[in-house]
């Protein structure tokens, strides 16, 4: 992981910690972890916080653009994700690990 990713991860974790998490999203995260495991890959980055990953999926990688609280639309997106509409760029871990993205395959 490069310095940019490390710094971004630190900012993300600090920002998400300050945001109140509705009980529905906490429950969603528990169910997602039970179904897919603790880690989820979004493009080239692996996260161990499902709610953080949802925030990035919904609002992008610039944490300054994130809202100060979750909305009903965020909860709706989490529910549709749980029901099988996986966001673009998401990869689930298998016993063999994560599948490589196209850019990872081209770089190796």
What are the boundaries of each domain within the chain?
A: 3-107
CB atoms < 10 A from the CB of 95, how many?
4
Region for residue 64 given its phi and psi (left: phi exceeds 0; alpha: psi -120 to 50; beta: otherwise): alpha
- pTM as predicted: 0.84
State the residue for tokens 């850019």: 103
Q: b or e along 45-58 (b: 16 or more beta carbons within 10 Å of the residue's beta carbon)?
A: bbbebbbbbbbbbb
Low pLDDT (below 50) residues in the chain: none
Can you give the pLDDT at residue 101? 66
How far does the chain reach from its first CA to its final CA, in angstroms?
A: 15
Can you give the pLDDT at residue 44? 81
86-100 pLDDT, tens per residue?
999 999 988 777 777
At 30 the three-state DSSP class reads helix
At 87 the three-state DSSP class reads coil
**Rounded to an integer, what distance in angstroms lies between the CA atom of residue 78 and that of residue 34?**
15
Can you give the pLDDT at residue 108? 64
Can you give the pLDDT at residue 93? 85
């Amino acid at each position: 992981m490069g310095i940019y990713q490390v710094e971004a991860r630190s900012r993300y974790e600090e920002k998400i910690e300050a945001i109140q998490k509705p009980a529905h999203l906490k429950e969603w995260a528990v169910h997602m972890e039970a179904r897919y495991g603790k880690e989820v890959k979004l493009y080239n980055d692996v996260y161990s916080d499902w709610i953080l990953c949802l925030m990035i999926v919904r609002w992008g990688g610039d944490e300054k653009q994130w809202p100060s609280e979750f909305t009903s639309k965020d909860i709706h997106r989490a529910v549709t994700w749980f029901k099988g509409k996986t966001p673009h760029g998401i990869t689930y871990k298998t016993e063999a690990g994560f599948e490589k993205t196209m850019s990872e395959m081209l770089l190796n």
